[in-house]
Structure 1
Amino acid sequence: MALRLTDVAVARGGVPVLGGVSFTLEGGEALILRGPNGSGKTTLLRTIAGLQPPLSGTLEGAADAVAYAGHADGLKSMLSVAENLQFWAAVYGQRDIAIALGAYGLEPLADRLTGTLSAGQKRRAGLARLMVTGRPIWVLDEPTVSLDLGAVGMFAAAVRGHLRAGGMALLATHIDLGLEAKIFDVSGFRAAPSAVHGASDEAFL
Protein backbone atom coordinates (compact mmCIF):
# COMPACT_ATOMS: atom_id res chain seq x y z
CA MET A 1 0.00 0.00 0.00
CA ALA A 2 1.19 3.52 -0.76
CA LEU A 3 0.02 7.13 -0.66
CA ARG A 4 0.78 8.75 -4.00
CA LEU A 5 0.32 12.37 -5.09
CA THR A 6 0.88 13.28 -8.73
CA ASP A 7 0.97 16.91 -9.84
CA VAL A 8 -1.53 17.93 -7.14
CA ALA A 9 -2.67 21.56 -6.80
CA VAL A 10 -4.58 22.86 -3.76
CA ALA A 11 -6.40 26.09 -2.88
CA ARG A 12 -7.31 28.00 0.27
CA GLY A 13 -10.38 30.23 0.13
CA GLY A 14 -10.56 29.66 -3.62
CA VAL A 15 -7.00 30.96 -4.10
CA PRO A 16 -4.42 28.42 -5.36
CA VAL A 17 -1.56 28.05 -2.88
CA LEU A 18 0.38 24.99 -4.06
CA GLY A 19 0.78 23.32 -7.43
CA GLY A 20 2.71 20.46 -8.95
CA VAL A 21 3.02 18.53 -5.68
CA SER A 22 4.20 14.97 -6.30
CA PHE A 23 5.50 12.39 -3.84
CA THR A 24 5.02 8.78 -2.81
CA LEU A 25 4.85 7.48 0.75
CA GLU A 26 5.01 3.73 1.33
CA GLY A 27 4.48 1.46 4.32
CA GLY A 28 6.96 2.07 7.11
CA GLU A 29 7.86 5.55 5.87
CA ALA A 30 7.41 9.02 7.36
CA LEU A 31 7.44 12.31 5.49
CA ILE A 32 7.77 15.70 7.18
CA LEU A 33 6.37 18.79 5.49
CA ARG A 34 8.37 21.94 5.94
CA GLY A 35 7.76 25.54 4.91
CA PRO A 36 6.98 28.92 6.47
CA ASN A 37 3.63 29.70 8.06
CA GLY A 38 0.97 30.28 5.42
CA SER A 39 2.83 28.31 2.77
CA GLY A 40 0.06 25.74 2.31
CA LYS A 41 1.04 22.84 4.56
CA THR A 42 -2.32 22.69 6.36
CA THR A 43 -4.25 23.02 3.10
CA LEU A 44 -2.28 20.15 1.58
CA LEU A 45 -2.82 17.94 4.63
CA ARG A 46 -6.56 18.66 4.67
CA THR A 47 -6.74 17.75 0.99
CA ILE A 48 -4.96 14.44 1.58
CA ALA A 49 -7.32 13.76 4.51
CA GLY A 50 -10.30 14.20 2.17
CA LEU A 51 -11.65 17.36 3.82
CA GLN A 52 -11.45 19.32 0.57
CA PRO A 53 -10.86 18.36 -3.07
CA PRO A 54 -7.64 19.12 -4.95
CA LEU A 55 -7.78 21.70 -7.71
CA SER A 56 -6.06 19.26 -10.05
CA GLY A 57 -3.80 16.24 -10.11
CA THR A 58 -4.33 12.78 -8.68
CA LEU A 59 -4.25 11.51 -5.13
CA GLU A 60 -4.14 7.73 -4.67
CA GLY A 61 -4.21 5.53 -1.61
CA ALA A 62 -5.81 7.96 0.86
CA ALA A 63 -9.48 6.93 0.67
CA ASP A 64 -10.56 5.13 3.87
CA ALA A 65 -6.91 4.85 4.94
CA VAL A 66 -6.25 8.21 6.63
CA ALA A 67 -6.53 9.17 10.29
CA TYR A 68 -6.22 12.96 10.55
CA ALA A 69 -5.18 15.06 13.53
CA GLY A 70 -5.44 18.81 12.98
CA HIS A 71 -5.46 21.76 15.34
CA ALA A 72 -8.59 20.52 17.15
CA ASP A 73 -8.25 17.45 19.36
CA GLY A 74 -11.49 15.74 18.29
CA LEU A 75 -12.66 15.18 21.87
CA LYS A 76 -15.99 15.63 23.64
CA SER A 77 -15.48 17.64 26.82
CA MET A 78 -18.30 15.91 28.73
CA LEU A 79 -16.93 12.43 28.08
CA SER A 80 -14.03 10.90 29.97
CA VAL A 81 -10.74 10.18 28.27
CA ALA A 82 -11.62 6.47 28.10
CA GLU A 83 -15.12 7.20 26.76
CA ASN A 84 -13.69 9.42 24.04
CA LEU A 85 -11.26 6.73 22.93
CA GLN A 86 -13.96 4.06 23.12
CA PHE A 87 -16.19 6.21 20.92
CA TRP A 88 -13.51 6.63 18.25
CA ALA A 89 -12.55 2.97 18.45
CA ALA A 90 -16.18 2.01 17.80
CA VAL A 91 -16.43 4.46 14.87
CA TYR A 92 -13.50 2.71 13.19
CA GLY A 93 -14.56 -0.83 14.10
CA GLN A 94 -11.91 -1.27 16.79
CA ARG A 95 -12.21 -2.16 20.47
CA ASP A 96 -9.00 -2.09 22.46
CA ILE A 97 -7.96 1.29 23.89
CA ALA A 98 -5.46 0.00 26.45
CA ILE A 99 -2.43 0.37 24.19
CA ALA A 100 -3.39 3.94 23.31
CA LEU A 101 -3.88 4.88 26.97
CA GLY A 102 -0.50 3.40 27.86
CA ALA A 103 1.38 4.98 24.99
CA TYR A 104 0.50 8.47 26.20
CA GLY A 105 0.53 7.84 29.96
CA LEU A 106 -3.22 8.38 30.15
CA GLU A 107 -4.18 5.55 32.50
CA PRO A 108 -4.41 7.85 35.57
CA LEU A 109 -6.64 10.19 33.55
CA ALA A 110 -8.87 7.56 31.96
CA ASP A 111 -11.92 8.44 34.08
CA ARG A 112 -11.40 12.21 34.01
CA LEU A 113 -13.72 14.37 31.92
CA THR A 114 -11.66 15.75 29.07
CA GLY A 115 -13.08 19.20 29.72
CA THR A 116 -11.15 19.27 33.00
CA LEU A 117 -7.77 18.42 31.44
CA SER A 118 -4.90 20.77 30.72
CA ALA A 119 -4.11 21.70 27.11
CA GLY A 120 -1.22 19.24 27.04
CA GLN A 121 -3.30 16.41 28.49
CA LYS A 122 -6.04 17.04 25.93
CA ARG A 123 -3.45 16.96 23.17
CA ARG A 124 -2.14 13.61 24.38
CA ALA A 125 -5.68 12.22 24.43
CA GLY A 126 -6.32 13.59 20.96
CA LEU A 127 -3.19 11.96 19.59
CA ALA A 128 -4.03 8.68 21.34
CA ARG A 129 -7.20 8.73 19.23
CA LEU A 130 -5.06 7.93 16.17
CA MET A 131 -4.00 4.64 17.69
CA VAL A 132 -7.56 3.32 18.00
CA THR A 133 -8.53 4.01 14.39
CA GLY A 134 -6.66 1.09 12.87
CA ARG A 135 -5.90 3.27 9.86
CA PRO A 136 -2.48 2.98 8.20
CA ILE A 137 -1.88 6.61 7.21
CA TRP A 138 -1.52 9.20 9.96
CA VAL A 139 -1.82 12.78 8.68
CA LEU A 140 -0.72 15.21 11.38
CA ASP A 141 -0.76 19.00 11.43
CA GLU A 142 1.60 20.44 14.08
CA PRO A 143 0.97 17.47 16.40
CA THR A 144 3.31 18.60 19.18
CA VAL A 145 1.49 21.86 19.99
CA SER A 146 0.92 22.10 23.79
CA LEU A 147 3.08 19.03 24.49
CA ASP A 148 5.92 19.15 27.00
CA LEU A 149 9.23 17.42 26.32
CA GLY A 150 8.14 14.13 27.86
CA ALA A 151 4.92 14.03 25.85
CA VAL A 152 6.81 14.84 22.65
CA GLY A 153 8.87 11.74 23.36
CA MET A 154 5.69 9.68 23.82
CA PHE A 155 4.38 10.94 20.51
CA ALA A 156 7.63 10.18 18.67
CA ALA A 157 7.63 6.67 20.16
CA ALA A 158 4.02 6.13 19.03
CA VAL A 159 4.91 7.20 15.49
CA ARG A 160 7.93 4.88 15.44
CA GLY A 161 5.73 1.99 16.57
CA HIS A 162 3.21 2.80 13.85
CA LEU A 163 5.96 2.81 11.22
CA ARG A 164 7.44 -0.48 12.46
CA ALA A 165 3.99 -2.03 12.03
CA GLY A 166 3.97 -0.93 8.38
CA GLY A 167 2.01 2.28 8.82
CA MET A 168 2.78 5.66 7.29
CA ALA A 169 3.03 9.13 8.82
CA LEU A 170 2.77 12.50 7.09
CA LEU A 171 3.54 15.39 9.44
CA ALA A 172 3.77 19.17 9.30
CA THR A 173 6.09 20.15 12.13
CA HIS A 174 9.01 22.42 12.91
CA ILE A 175 10.15 20.15 15.77
CA ASP A 176 12.96 17.61 15.37
CA LEU A 177 11.31 14.40 16.52
CA GLY A 178 14.32 12.22 15.89
CA LEU A 179 12.43 10.24 13.27
CA GLU A 180 14.02 8.68 10.22
CA ALA A 181 11.93 10.59 7.70
CA LYS A 182 11.93 12.20 4.30
CA ILE A 183 11.67 16.00 4.19
CA PHE A 184 9.35 17.72 1.71
CA ASP A 185 9.62 21.52 1.57
CA VAL A 186 6.42 22.97 0.11
CA SER A 187 8.11 26.33 -0.52
CA GLY A 188 9.20 25.15 -3.95
CA PHE A 189 5.61 24.41 -4.99
CA ARG A 190 3.92 27.77 -4.50
CA ALA A 191 1.14 28.18 -7.04
CA ALA A 192 1.76 30.59 -9.90
CA PRO A 193 -0.36 33.79 -9.74
CA SER A 194 -1.95 32.83 -13.06
CA ALA A 195 -3.20 29.48 -11.76
CA VAL A 196 -6.86 28.72 -12.42
CA HIS A 197 -9.27 29.98 -9.76
CA GLY A 198 -12.72 28.71 -8.98
CA ALA A 199 -12.30 25.81 -6.53
CA SER A 200 -13.10 26.40 -2.90
CA ASP A 201 -12.11 24.89 0.42
CA GLU A 202 -15.15 25.97 2.38
CA ALA A 203 -14.31 23.46 5.11
CA PHE A 204 -11.05 25.24 5.89
CA LEU A 205 -10.98 26.44 9.50
Structure 2
Amino acid sequence: MTVDTHSSSNTPHLTLEARALTCIRGERQLFQNLNLTVTAGECLHVRGENGVGKTSLLRLLTGLSKPEVGEVLWNHQSVAKDPSTYHRELLFLGHRDALKEDLTALENLQLYAVLDDIHLPVDKALAALWHFGLRGRESLPVGCLSAGQKRRVLMARMLTRQAKLWILDEPFNTLDIHAVQDLQGLIAEHVEQGGLVVLTSHQAVDLPRVRVLDL
Protein backbone atom coordinates (compact mmCIF):
# COMPACT_ATOMS: atom_id res chain seq x y z
CA MET A 1 0.00 0.00 0.00
CA THR A 2 1.64 3.25 -1.12
CA VAL A 3 0.73 6.92 -1.29
CA ASP A 4 3.19 9.43 -2.70
CA THR A 5 2.65 13.16 -2.92
CA HIS A 6 4.83 15.86 -4.46
CA SER A 7 5.16 19.49 -3.51
CA SER A 8 6.30 22.69 -5.19
CA SER A 9 6.86 24.36 -1.79
CA ASN A 10 9.85 26.60 -1.16
CA THR A 11 10.90 24.18 1.62
CA PRO A 12 10.92 20.77 -0.12
CA HIS A 13 13.45 19.33 2.36
CA LEU A 14 10.70 18.85 4.94
CA THR A 15 9.58 15.28 4.43
CA LEU A 16 7.70 12.67 6.43
CA GLU A 17 8.11 9.10 5.22
CA ALA A 18 6.83 5.70 6.27
CA ARG A 19 8.61 2.70 4.82
CA ALA A 20 7.11 -0.78 4.77
CA LEU A 21 5.15 -0.35 7.99
CA THR A 22 3.45 -3.34 9.54
CA CYS A 23 1.13 -2.84 12.51
CA ILE A 24 -0.21 -5.59 14.75
CA ARG A 25 -2.62 -5.07 17.63
CA GLY A 26 -3.15 -8.13 19.79
CA GLU A 27 -3.38 -11.04 17.38
CA ARG A 28 -4.69 -8.93 14.52
CA GLN A 29 -2.61 -7.46 11.74
CA LEU A 30 -4.06 -4.06 10.85
CA PHE A 31 -1.87 -3.34 7.85
CA GLN A 32 1.43 -4.37 6.32
CA ASN A 33 4.01 -3.00 3.87
CA LEU A 34 2.51 0.50 4.10
CA ASN A 35 4.56 3.25 2.44
CA LEU A 36 3.82 6.94 2.28
CA THR A 37 5.60 10.21 1.66
CA VAL A 38 4.31 13.68 2.57
CA THR A 39 6.38 16.78 1.83
CA ALA A 40 6.15 20.48 2.62
CA GLY A 41 2.90 22.06 1.49
CA GLU A 42 0.86 18.85 1.49
CA CYS A 43 -2.00 17.25 3.41
CA LEU A 44 -2.65 13.52 3.64
CA HIS A 45 -6.20 12.44 4.55
CA VAL A 46 -6.25 8.93 6.03
CA ARG A 47 -9.65 7.25 5.63
CA GLY A 48 -11.19 3.94 6.55
CA GLU A 49 -13.78 2.18 8.67
CA ASN A 50 -13.44 2.00 12.44
CA GLY A 51 -10.86 -0.54 13.51
CA VAL A 52 -8.76 -0.60 10.34
CA GLY A 53 -5.81 1.12 12.00
CA LYS A 54 -6.11 4.86 11.33
CA THR A 55 -5.26 5.94 14.88
CA SER A 56 -2.60 3.24 15.11
CA LEU A 57 -0.97 4.63 11.96
CA LEU A 58 -0.93 8.14 13.39
CA ARG A 59 0.68 6.89 16.60
CA LEU A 60 3.36 5.20 14.53
CA LEU A 61 3.97 8.41 12.59
CA THR A 62 4.32 10.40 15.83
CA GLY A 63 6.74 7.90 17.34
CA LEU A 64 4.40 7.12 20.23
CA SER A 65 4.21 3.50 19.04
CA LYS A 66 6.75 1.30 17.27
CA PRO A 67 5.94 -0.71 14.13
CA GLU A 68 6.38 -4.45 14.02
CA VAL A 69 8.26 -3.92 10.77
CA GLY A 70 9.40 -0.78 8.96
CA GLU A 71 10.37 2.72 10.00
CA VAL A 72 9.23 6.34 10.07
CA LEU A 73 11.59 9.05 8.86
CA TRP A 74 11.57 12.82 9.26
CA ASN A 75 13.79 14.58 6.76
CA HIS A 76 15.31 11.22 5.80
CA GLN A 77 16.32 10.33 9.37
CA SER A 78 14.59 7.75 11.54
CA VAL A 79 12.43 9.47 14.16
CA ALA A 80 13.71 6.93 16.69
CA LYS A 81 17.26 8.31 16.43
CA ASP A 82 16.46 11.80 17.71
CA PRO A 83 12.88 11.86 19.03
CA SER A 84 13.26 15.14 20.94
CA THR A 85 14.20 17.05 17.78
CA TYR A 86 11.37 15.42 15.87
CA HIS A 87 8.80 16.24 18.54
CA ARG A 88 9.82 19.91 18.49
CA GLU A 89 8.69 19.97 14.86
CA LEU A 90 5.50 18.01 15.59
CA LEU A 91 2.02 18.94 16.79
CA PHE A 92 -0.10 15.88 17.58
CA LEU A 93 -3.75 16.18 18.52
CA GLY A 94 -5.24 12.87 19.50
CA HIS A 95 -8.85 11.77 19.55
CA ARG A 96 -9.20 12.97 23.15
CA ASP A 97 -8.99 16.61 24.14
CA ALA A 98 -5.89 16.27 26.39
CA LEU A 99 -6.77 19.47 28.23
CA LYS A 100 -6.47 20.12 31.97
CA GLU A 101 -10.10 20.40 33.09
CA ASP A 102 -9.32 22.44 36.20
CA LEU A 103 -7.29 25.05 34.31
CA THR A 104 -8.80 27.85 32.26
CA ALA A 105 -8.60 27.97 28.48
CA LEU A 106 -5.88 30.63 28.75
CA GLU A 107 -3.95 28.64 31.34
CA ASN A 108 -4.10 25.55 29.13
CA LEU A 109 -2.54 27.48 26.25
CA GLN A 110 0.14 28.85 28.56
CA LEU A 111 0.86 25.37 29.94
CA TYR A 112 1.23 23.96 26.43
CA ALA A 113 3.60 26.80 25.56
CA VAL A 114 5.81 25.90 28.53
CA LEU A 115 5.77 22.21 27.59
CA ASP A 116 6.53 23.08 23.96
CA ASP A 117 9.30 25.47 25.07
CA ILE A 118 7.94 28.41 23.11
CA HIS A 119 7.39 32.03 24.10
CA LEU A 120 3.69 32.88 24.11
CA PRO A 121 2.75 36.39 25.29
CA VAL A 122 -0.61 36.69 26.98
CA ASP A 123 -1.97 39.00 24.28
CA LYS A 124 -1.18 36.45 21.56
CA ALA A 125 -2.75 33.64 23.56
CA LEU A 126 -5.90 35.68 24.09
CA ALA A 127 -6.01 36.68 20.42
CA ALA A 128 -5.85 33.02 19.42
CA LEU A 129 -8.71 32.09 21.76
CA TRP A 130 -10.81 35.03 20.58
CA HIS A 131 -10.08 34.11 16.96
CA PHE A 132 -11.93 30.85 17.56
CA GLY A 133 -14.93 32.34 19.31
CA LEU A 134 -13.85 31.97 22.93
CA ARG A 135 -13.97 35.64 23.92
CA GLY A 136 -15.52 35.79 27.37
CA ARG A 137 -14.67 32.14 28.06
CA GLU A 138 -10.90 32.43 28.26
CA SER A 139 -10.99 32.55 32.09
CA LEU A 140 -13.44 29.69 32.56
CA PRO A 141 -12.19 26.27 33.69
CA VAL A 142 -12.07 24.00 30.66
CA GLY A 143 -14.29 21.57 32.52
CA CYS A 144 -17.11 24.12 32.15
CA LEU A 145 -16.77 24.26 28.36
CA SER A 146 -18.71 22.20 25.83
CA ALA A 147 -16.97 19.53 23.76
CA GLY A 148 -16.94 21.87 20.76
CA GLN A 149 -15.49 24.73 22.81
CA LYS A 150 -12.73 22.44 24.08
CA ARG A 151 -11.87 21.66 20.47
CA ARG A 152 -11.67 25.39 19.84
CA VAL A 153 -9.08 25.68 22.62
CA LEU A 154 -7.04 23.05 20.78
CA MET A 155 -7.47 25.01 17.56
CA ALA A 156 -6.02 28.01 19.36
CA ARG A 157 -3.06 25.84 20.30
CA MET A 158 -2.61 24.91 16.64
CA LEU A 159 -2.50 28.61 15.82
CA THR A 160 0.13 29.41 18.46
CA ARG A 161 2.27 26.26 18.32
CA GLN A 162 5.38 26.60 16.18
CA ALA A 163 5.42 23.19 14.49
CA LYS A 164 5.91 22.25 10.86
CA LEU A 165 4.17 18.86 10.99
CA TRP A 166 0.58 18.50 12.21
CA ILE A 167 -0.80 15.02 12.88
CA LEU A 168 -4.49 15.24 13.71
CA ASP A 169 -6.81 12.41 14.75
CA GLU A 170 -10.46 13.20 13.86
CA PRO A 171 -9.99 16.96 14.39
CA PHE A 172 -13.50 17.82 13.13
CA ASN A 173 -15.34 15.76 15.74
CA THR A 174 -17.84 17.71 17.90
CA LEU A 175 -17.42 20.89 15.83
CA ASP A 176 -20.35 22.80 14.38
CA ILE A 177 -20.33 23.84 10.73
CA HIS A 178 -18.73 27.23 11.44
CA ALA A 179 -15.95 25.70 13.53
CA VAL A 180 -15.34 23.10 10.82
CA GLN A 181 -14.88 25.92 8.31
CA ASP A 182 -12.53 27.73 10.71
CA LEU A 183 -10.44 24.62 11.23
CA GLN A 184 -10.28 23.85 7.52
CA GLY A 185 -9.10 27.41 6.96
CA LEU A 186 -6.41 27.02 9.63
CA ILE A 187 -5.17 23.77 8.11
CA ALA A 188 -5.24 25.25 4.60
CA GLU A 189 -3.17 28.23 5.74
CA HIS A 190 -0.64 25.92 7.39
CA VAL A 191 -0.30 23.90 4.20
CA GLU A 192 -0.03 26.98 2.01
CA GLN A 193 2.80 28.25 4.24
CA GLY A 194 4.79 25.07 3.66
CA GLY A 195 3.58 22.99 6.60
CA LEU A 196 2.72 19.29 6.47
CA VAL A 197 -0.54 17.75 7.69
CA VAL A 198 -1.65 14.16 8.21
CA LEU A 199 -5.20 13.75 9.47
CA THR A 200 -7.94 11.20 9.89
CA SER A 201 -11.58 12.09 9.33
CA HIS A 202 -14.81 10.29 8.55
CA GLN A 203 -16.01 13.53 6.96
CA ALA A 204 -15.12 14.89 3.56
CA VAL A 205 -12.49 17.61 3.82
CA ASP A 206 -12.22 20.69 1.63
CA LEU A 207 -8.52 21.41 1.67
CA PRO A 208 -5.85 22.36 -0.88
CA ARG A 209 -3.20 19.85 -1.95
CA VAL A 210 -4.92 17.00 -0.15
CA ARG A 211 -4.31 13.37 -1.05
CA VAL A 212 -6.20 10.37 0.28
CA LEU A 213 -4.92 7.14 1.81
CA ASP A 214 -7.63 4.49 2.20
CA LEU A 215 -6.73 1.85 4.77
Does TM-score exceed 0.5, indicating one fold? Answer: yes
Q: Gaps (5+ residues) in structure 2?
A: 1-13, 80-85
State the Cα deviation string for residues 120-157 of structure 1 (Å, max 9, x = none): 10111123223333111111111111100011011101
Alignment of 1:73 with 2:97, yes or no, is yes
| The 10-residue stretch of structure 1 (161-170 or 99-108) with the greater mean CA deviation from structure 2 | 99-108
Deviation at 1:70, TM superposition (A): 1.2
Unaligned segments of structure 1, at least 5 residues: 187-205
Contact 2:46 2:212 in 1 (8 A): yes
Aligned length: 186
Which residue does the alignment assign to 2:207? 179
2:35 maps to 22
Q: Which moved more, 1:74-83 or 1:87-96?
A: 87-96
Between the aligned partners of 2:170 and 2:146, the Cα distance in structure 1 is 18
Give the whole-Å Cα distance in 2 for the aligned partners of 1:91 and 1:99.
20
1:115 aligned partner, one-letter code: G
1:98 to partner: Cα distance: 4.3
Distance in 1, matches of 2:27 and 2:162, equals 33
> 1:6 touches 1:21 (CA, 8 Å); kept in 2?
yes
TM-score, normalised by the number of residues in structure 2: 0.81
Identity of aligned residues (%): 34
* Partners of 1:104 and 1:155 within 8 A in 2: no
- RMSD of aligned Cα (Å): 1.6
Compared CA separation, residues 33 and 137, structure 1 to 2 (3 A): same
Partner of 1:132: 160
1:149 aligns to what? 177
Contact 1:7-1:22 at 8 Å conserved across structures: yes
Q: Distance in 1 between matches of 2:62 and 2:116?
A: 15
Q: What amino acid sits opposite 1:143 in the alignment?
A: P
Q: In structure 1, what is the Cα distance between the partners aligned to 2:39 and 2:171?
A: 21
Which residue number in structure 2 is paired with residue 94 of structure 1? 118
Moved more, 138-147 or 9-18: 9-18
1:1-205 equivalences in 2 (<5 Å): 1-13=14-26, 15-61=28-74, 63-64=86-87, 65-96=89-120, 97-98=125-126, 100-180=128-208, 181-186=210-215
- Distance apart, 1:89 and its partner CA: 1.2
Length-normalised TM-score, structure 1: 0.85
What CA distance in whole angstroms lies between the structure 1 residues aligned with 2:131 and 2:91?
Answer: 17
